[in-house]
Structure 1
């Protein structure tokens, strides 16, 4: 693994320190069996797996991942040193150059204080200290807060849309829904080079997916000559799943058709507007650098 420039490391250290101070937390690596057991319980709480009789990650697996040199860390409250967040990743191909962030979660009552951002910055510094310049992860593209955090705050690139990536999941968050995921990449040693489109771009965008009069998904064809394509999603998919599972499933299938279709046709995600809209542009429009760039807002449940 090649070393990373000291200036880049210094910036990463400063940004992590500021994020930890703002969130009032301290990030630490987890190693012991006791820490792994507490981390496992926290993840089960975040994903509400109790009634399913399963667990997100067994403590023994967490210990093994940490012992093998992978990334296993926790966010601890600065006042009482309680564990409020956990994030875990492992090495992927190309070996020595990439880490895949598998899971990250923050206790529900602690969401909103900036812990998710601090966890990602801790992951970044951990990777850079080991000469790793790229991180990937998947997330549910129907969760608006995570989409905004990933694309607009971190500057990730969308790589691929996966249909039902994990198969049927039994946790309380994902149960009964197809586990479609969007794979994204974060280039850790370079700033994002994308020029994000603003809200004014909606005026010239053609919607591949939009919100109907009664909250239903409406699909449309997007001509290749279009400058900007848009994919709108519900503002709060998690609540919709609980209120109307059938409508939530319709949104999943519609987003799959729209987003997977656009990506397959050569469109790239430019960013995500707070109104709940993905914006797509053509790669030859100059909005993306050749390098693969940049996971999630406040870590409520997410991959």
Structure 2
């Protein structure tokens, strides 16, 4: 799979900042939102309420309290929010939080990100605003984690943004009690996003997925992993969030099955580099410019 440079980031200064700014503005315009950093108490509280709604927790006990978000901003991080206009005024449609991580002058850690308007491009607009903010402060990479069983997030991260899955983390947070993750184990995939190049991947790994080469079976009886030379494909459930509600035991079986494939593949040196539209990861050797 060949990384394709996004035309909006392929020229300009060495750090890509001017074109990152154009992409951030354009993606917000396309999504029909206004994205800005949030500093005030009321604005940060609204973002905390937004996260509570997304993670299905009471607003009185949000997964990311406003006090915590305010402290992260005070420490040099940033809260970005995407606002859509409605009859009662602006309301958050997406939000993200970023902090600097080691090495502080180069790497940014995206603490959390979410969008409610799926398919409208709000999430992309928020990530591009984060990217611009990070580049303006000298960062070159951004890292974050996500649930590897959520295929739509995998496709967004690995294909739409062009990030690469750098490590597989087993039960990273331990037990979680929010309305989305409750009852499951919290495996996470860390991705690294090259902020300077702004690469995306245009081809779909389903196009060259082999018809044979089944390595193991999934909990639903179908193929879970396929192997061809130095490439591995791994399938995830169509909607793990719905599956957790309908059949928690089956969802946990999927967790353990995918975990086994990924931990063995990562021990071998393979990395998640793409996700097909029909729910298959592609794991390959890292791109030549990446270092182990």
What is the TM-score of this pair, normalised by structure 2? 0.87
Do 1:196 and 1:271's aligned partners in 2 also have CA atoms closer than 8 Å?
Answer: no
Task: Kindly provide the CA deviation profile for residues 203-239 of structure 1, in whole angstroms up to 9, marking residues without a partner as x.
Answer: 2673445546xx24766695xx724211011111111
State the partner residue of 2:174. 167
Task: Kindly provide the CA deviation profile for residues 112-161 of structure 1, in whole angstroms up to 9, marking residues without a partner as x.
Answer: 32110000000000001111110000000000100111111111111110
Distance 1:74 1:230 in 2: 35
State the partner residue of 1:154. 161
Q: For residue 127 of structure 1, give the secondary structure of its aligned residue in structure 2.
A: helix
1:33 deviates by: 1.2
Q: For residue 203 of structure 1, give the secondary structure of its aligned residue in structure 2.
A: coil
Do 2:144 and 2:190's aligned partners in 1 also have CA atoms closer than 8 Å?
Answer: yes
1:143 aligns with 2:146: no
* Higher RCO (CA 8 Å, separation ≥ 6 residues): 1
1:234 aligns with 2:241: no
Q: Which runs of 5+ in 1 are unaligned?
A: 293-303
Distance 1:252 1:258 in 2: 10
Q: How does 1:81-92 map to 2 (within 5 A)?
A: 81-92=90-101
Distance 2:27 2:212 in 1: 35
Do 1:196 and 1:270's aligned partners in 2 also have CA atoms closer than 8 Å?
Answer: no
State the partner residue of 1:289. 288
Distance 2:225 2:84 in 1: 47
- Farther-moved stretch of structure 1 (140-149 vs 262-271): 262-271
User: For this pair of structures, how many residues does the alignment match?
Assistant: 278
Q: How does 1:1-303 map to 2 (within 5 A)?
A: 5=13, 8-50=16-58, 54-78=61-85, 80-107=89-116, 110-192=117-199, 198-203=205-210, 206-211=213-218, 215-216=220-221, 226-283=229-286, 288-291=287-290
- Farther-moved stretch of structure 1 (134-143 vs 54-63): 54-63
- Farther-moved stretch of structure 1 (56-65 vs 197-206): 197-206
* CA RMSD after TM alignment: 2.4
Q: For residue 50 of structure 1, give the secondary structure of its aligned residue in structure 2.
A: coil
What is the TM-score of this pair, normalised by structure 1? 0.84
Q: For residue 256 of structure 1, give the secondary structure of its aligned residue in structure 2.
A: helix
Q: For residue 82 of structure 1, give the secondary structure of its aligned residue in structure 2.
A: strand
1:178–1:205 Cα change, 3 Å: same
1:209–1:278 Cα change, 3 Å: farther
